Each structure stands twice: as C-alpha cells, then as structure tokens.
Amino acid sequence: MLGIVEKIVTWLYEYFQKRRSLETELEGLKAGLMMTMISNHLDAPLHALRDFFIRNPRLLEKNVENRLFVNRWLMDPHWQAFGSVSGMWTKEHWDQLRLDANSLRAA
C-alpha cells in the first residue's frame, strides 16, 4: 500500500514540476518577445516560441489562444519566407501580436 501511495505522490510531484517548468519557460519567451522593440529583431523570439510549441504540441490542443497565436503568427507564410523585414509590421500587427502573446498559456 505504501508503495502505491509513494508512486502516486512521485507522479504528482513530477507532473507539477513539469507544468511549472513549462509555465516558466513560456513566460520567459513571452517576456523576450515583449521586450523586443525593433521589428527587425522579432525573428529570434518568434522562432523561440515556434520551437517551444513544436516541443509541446499538447499545449495547442488544450488552449485555443495558443493555437490562434501559432496559426496567426508562427505559421504565417510571409514571416516564414522573409522573416521580419522592414514594413511587414504595421502598428496594428504589432499591437495584435502583443495582445495575442499575452494570451498564451502553458496550462
């Protein structure tokens, strides 16, 4: 009986550790994006977010906002083909990107 309880406690601990780790990583990636003030430098934080969601596809299944962000920004064919070239980021795009990034969740 003690062995079963020990396994359950260990599983729960590992589950919440992984969840906290994902939340911490995502918050860091969001902060990196929010701190980028020059549109030509957006490629690195956007690529980092893309890599994060490739490693954690379940977060796209669980959260509609995450899926919307990936579809709208990270799967954009112009961004993938040309990167953050001058003129690509209008004020409206910039504001929407920040708004969408704020809605990202790791849970």
Max avg pLDDT among 70-74, 79-83, 87-91: 70-74
The 3-class secondary structure across 6-32, one letter per residue, is HHHHHHHHHHHHHHHHHHHHHHHHHHH
Spatial distance between the Cα atoms of 102 and 100, rounded to a whole number of angstroms: 5
Q: pLDDT confidence of 81, banded at 50, 70, 90?
A: confident
Q: pLDDT confidence of 88, banded at 50, 70, 90?
A: confident
